[in-house]
């Protein structure tokens, strides 16, 4: 059980770091959703099953979809701008935060109340599909809307390639039409020259 919590904590830290250092806002939103999903697993493992369901529905579902909608509306401009905060100050703040967090959390990891008790009447499936069924249905609708919005975000990146291919095809067509016109003009001149010679 201790190893499971260590792996979950490592997964939370990894997803959180990737959400911060990601170059695209959409990737950051997806990594943040992964962080919330692992946090929900940690809460469930600690015995807070209803909080785990809420974290999974809101943190990994609704918030992520709202981020995707906001990105689709506002765009991803400004990602290349540099911050004025010195890098050493940032790392010192992160290390201090991790130290304080570890000091508060690590003493309470062992023993862990609850655990993965599948015989409990408040199982994850019961809480998710019966007590929070309305939230789940709304989340499904929001996820579908988020997928459509994500496809809309990916469409502008694919559009220049389609325009380039269409331009190349139009260029080849214009070249072919020009060549056909030159051939017809040469044939007309040849016919006219032959008529003058015969005359």
Supply the CATH number for residue 80's domain: 1.20.120
Q: What is the pLDDT of residue 186?
A: 61
Task: Find the domain containing 30 and state its range.
Answer: 2-158
CB atoms within 10 A of CB 28: 19
CA trace torsion 45, 48, 51, 53 (10° rounding):
50
Does 176 map to a domain?
A: no
Q: Does residue 170 lie in a domain region?
A: no
More confident residue, 17 or 142: 17
Contact predicate 15/34, CB 8 Å: yes
Does residue 95 form part of some domain? Answer: yes
Residue 165 inside a domain? The answer is no
99-132 confidence digits (pLDDT tens): 887 777 666 655 544 544 545 555 656 666 666 6
Q: Is residue 84 part of a domain?
A: yes
Q: What is the pLDDT, as a whole number, of residue 73?
A: 75
Residue 145 domain flag: yes
Report the number of distinct structural domains present in the chain.
Answer: 1
63-106 pLDDT per residue, tens: 777 777 777 777 666 555 566 777 788 788 888 887 887 777 66
pLDDT at 116: 47
Q: What is the pLDDT of residue 49?
A: 77
pLDDT at 133 (0 to 100)? 67
How much is the pTM? 0.47
194 domain-assigned: no
Residue 197 CA to its chain's centroid (Å) = 75
Contact 5, 109 (CB under 8 A): yes
């Amino acid at each position: 059980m201790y190893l499971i919590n260590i792996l979950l904590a490592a997964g939370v830290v990894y997803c959180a770091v990737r959400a911060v250092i990601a170059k695209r806002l959409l990737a950051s939103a997806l990594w943040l959703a992964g962080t919330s999903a692992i946090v929900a697993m940690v809460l469930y493992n600690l015995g807070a099953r209803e909080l785990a369901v809420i974290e999974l529905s809101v943190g990994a579902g609704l918030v992520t979809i709202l981020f995707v909608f906001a990105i689709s509306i506002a765009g991803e401009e400004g990602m290349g701008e540099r911050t004025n905060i010195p890098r050493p100050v940032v790392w010192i703040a992160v290390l201090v935060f991790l130290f304080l967090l570890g000091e508060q959390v690590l003493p309470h990891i062992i023993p862990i109340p609850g655990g993965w008790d599948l015989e409990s009447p408040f199982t994850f499936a019961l809480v998710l599909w019966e007590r929070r069924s309305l939230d789940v249905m709304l989340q499904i609708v929001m996820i579908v809307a988020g997928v459509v919005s994500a496809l809309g975000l990916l469409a502008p990146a694919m559009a220049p390639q389609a325009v380039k291919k269409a331009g190349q095809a139009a260029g080849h067509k214009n070249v072919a039409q020009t060549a056909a016109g030159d051939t017809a003009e040469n044939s007309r001149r040849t016919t006219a020259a032959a008529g003058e010679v015969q005359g």
